[in-house]
């Protein structure tokens, strides 16, 4: 089958450049909005999900969905730490388990942005052993156990007042000195860490919110989960850290995905209509040319394909421009609410290759949908009539 040369369609896009540009930009704006939302969702999910560890166990109170809800009394936490046989030991024979307290505290954002909720975590020295090299210090040092010292996640240090190295943060009536800034690729980098006993005393919360531990390699997880759920002394809910962090993102992630789909459908409809308009006008202006092509012996489906190709080009160009508009967003830090714990976490937009590819496929689809009816109309023209009408 003889196809209409691509250069014919390319040139006609160039000749009608104002219309081409407006259509491409229209599709680009649609794609840009979508990519922006998806990059937000990716950044947020990646922060939690990718950093969660499969070899760290998280114990929460039964029925709790997050650390804020969960609570163990001191007594129950100690029983849990001492009795679970699956908890691993290090070379020195120490059990790799730590109990932590957790509270979202009010802090003023820097630059007068109002209040935000910041997670404060009181930890035992063993927490650092469990997370090991995941936590590194970029400034200062770790806090000394038993003192009123805290360390701040690197992403938080600039976002709230009084959180730089050497400054003092007050919790209720107790001042804490910032002695170190630490890095973590996950959500810890938006937290304040201090000694458990000192923090819980300052906040007057003599409870543990969760227990974390490293388990022996041969642990039968499903069996242990079942056993902990029915434990007569301290019933608890057991998850891997990855499972726990994933559960933290699901609500916000779902909202963003739903918003993305909603926007894609609604804005997509508008973009398809625009592409249809452009192609209809392009075809109307070329009625005589179509007549000539048809009378030269080109088959109607060659005409159809030719115009579909033109619409596809419009779509792909829109996709590329849209992706380029949003690409600089990659890596930009932003904050969003973790609705489970009501705390703000800092993370970066992530414009992944998958998102970009998806955006261009989506834009191509918009072009194809927009081109279908006009191309079909063009293919159905009768050569003689087309030439007379022009």
Partner 1 sequence: MPPFRLVWKNLLRHRTRALLTAASLAVAIFLLCVLRSLLVVLESGIKASASNRLIVQSSVSLFVYLPESYEAKLERIEGVERVVRWNWFGGYYQEPKNFFAQFATDVEDLFEVYPEIELVEGSQEDFFGDRRACVIGSEMARKFNMRVGDTMPVIGGLFPRTDGQPWDFRIAGIYHSVKPNVDNNTLFFHADFLQKALESGAANGPEGVGIFVLRLEPGADRVRVAETVDALFAGGPQRTQTTTEAEFQAQFVSMVGNVPFFVGSIGGGVLIAILLATLNTMLMAAREQTRDIGVLKALGFRDGTVFGLMLGQSMLLTGVGGMGGLLIALSSERFFAQLLGTAFPGYHIAAETVVEAVIATLLIGVLAGIVPALRARKLSVLTALRSVG
- Positions touching partner 1 (CB under 8 A) are 18-19, 22-23, 25-26, 29-30, 32-33, 36-37, 40, 62-65, 68-69, 71, 103-106, 109, 113-117, 171-173, 203-205, 263, 266-267, 269-271, 273-274, 276-278, 280-281, 334-337, 342, 344
Strands (E), 302-350: 333-338, 343-348
Cα 327 to Cα 360: distance, rounded to the nearest angstrom: 13
DSSP letter for 328, please. G
**CB-nearer residue toward partner 1: 50 or 266:** 266
Q: Which is nearer to partner 1, 131 or 176 (CB)?
A: 176
Our CB check for partner 1 shows the closer of 3 and 337 to be 337
**CB closer to partner 1 out of 33 and 88:** 33
Q: Closer to partner 1 by CB, 137 or 339: give it.
A: 339
- Min dist. Cβ of residue 269 to partner 1 (A): 5
Least distance to partner 1, CB of residue 349, Å: 11
CB of 257 to partner 1, least distance (A): 14
Contact in structure between 152 and 181 (CB atoms under 8 Å): yes
- Residue among 20 and 131 whose Cβ is closer to partner 1: 20
The CA distance from 87 to 96, in Å, is: 7
CA-based R_g, the chain, Å:
30
Whichever of 106 and 133 has its CB closer to partner 1, that residue is 106
Alpha-carbon 161 to chain mean position: 26
Ranges of beta strands (E only) in 25-69 are: 56-61
Q: Look up residue 72 and give its two tokens.
A: 């163990």
Of the candidates 198, 192, 184, 141, the one whose C-alpha atom is nearest the C-alpha of residue 163 is: 192
CB of 29 to partner 1, least distance (A): 4
Report, in Å, the least distance between residue 322 CB and partner 1: 9
Nearest distance, CB of residue 189 and partner 1, angstroms: 17
Distance between CA atoms of residues 254 and 174, nearest Å? 39
Element (H, E) at 168: strand 168-171
Residue 116 near residue 160 (C-beta atoms within 8 A): yes
| Structure tokens belonging to residue 344 | 């703000």
Shortest reach from residue 120's CB to partner 1, in Å: 8
Cα–Cα dist 4/199, whole Å? 75
């Amino acid at each position: 089958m003889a196809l209409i040369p691509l250069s014919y369609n390319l040139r006609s896009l160039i000749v009608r450049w104002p219309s081409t540009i407006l259509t491409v930009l229209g599709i680009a704006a649609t794609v840009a909005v979508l990519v922006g939302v998806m990059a937000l969702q990716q950044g947020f999910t990646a922060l939690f999900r990718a950093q969660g560890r499969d070899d760290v166990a998280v114990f929460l109170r039964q029925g709790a969905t997050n650390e804020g809800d969960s609570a163990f009394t001191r007594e129950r936490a100690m029983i849990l730490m001492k009795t679970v046989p699956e908890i691993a030991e290090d070379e020195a024979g120490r059990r790799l388990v730590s109990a932590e307290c957790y509270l979202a505290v009010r802090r003023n954002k820097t630059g007068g942005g109002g209040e935000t909720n910041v997670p404060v975590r009181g930890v035992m020295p063993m927490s650092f052993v469990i997370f090991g090299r995941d936590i590194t210090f970029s400034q200062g040092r770790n806090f000394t156990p038993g003192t009123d010292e805290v360390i701040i996640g690197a992403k938080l240090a600039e976002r709230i007042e009084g959180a730089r190295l050497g400054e003092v943060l007050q919790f209720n009536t107790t001042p804490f000195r910032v002695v170190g800034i630490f890095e973590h690729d996950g959500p810890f980098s938006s937290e304040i860490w201090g000694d458990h006993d000192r923090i819980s005393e300052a906040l007057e919360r003599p409870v543990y919110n969760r227990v974390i531990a490293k388990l022996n390699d041969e642990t039968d997880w499903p069996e242990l989960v079942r056993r902990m759920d029915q434990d007569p002394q301290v019933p608890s809910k057991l998850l891997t850290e990855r499972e726990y962090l994933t559960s933290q993102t699901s609500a916000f992630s779902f909202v963003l995905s739903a918003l993305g789909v909603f926007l894609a459908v609604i804005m997509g409809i508008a973009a398809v209509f625009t592409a249809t308009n452009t192609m209809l006008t392009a075809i109307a202006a070329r009625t005589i040319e179509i007549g000539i092509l048809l009378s030269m012996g080109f088959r109607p489906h060659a005409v159809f394909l030719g115009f579909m190709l033109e619409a596809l080009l419009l779509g792909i160009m829109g996709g590329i421009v849209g992706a380029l508009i949003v690409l600089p967003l990659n890596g930009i830090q932003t904050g969003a609410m973790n609705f489970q714990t009501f705390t703000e976490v800092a993370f970066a937009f992530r414009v992944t290759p998958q998102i970009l590819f998806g955006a261009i496929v989506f834009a191509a689809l918009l072009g194809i949908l927009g081109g279908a009816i006009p191309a079909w109309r063009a293919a159905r023209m009768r050569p003689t009539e087309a030439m007379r009408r022009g």
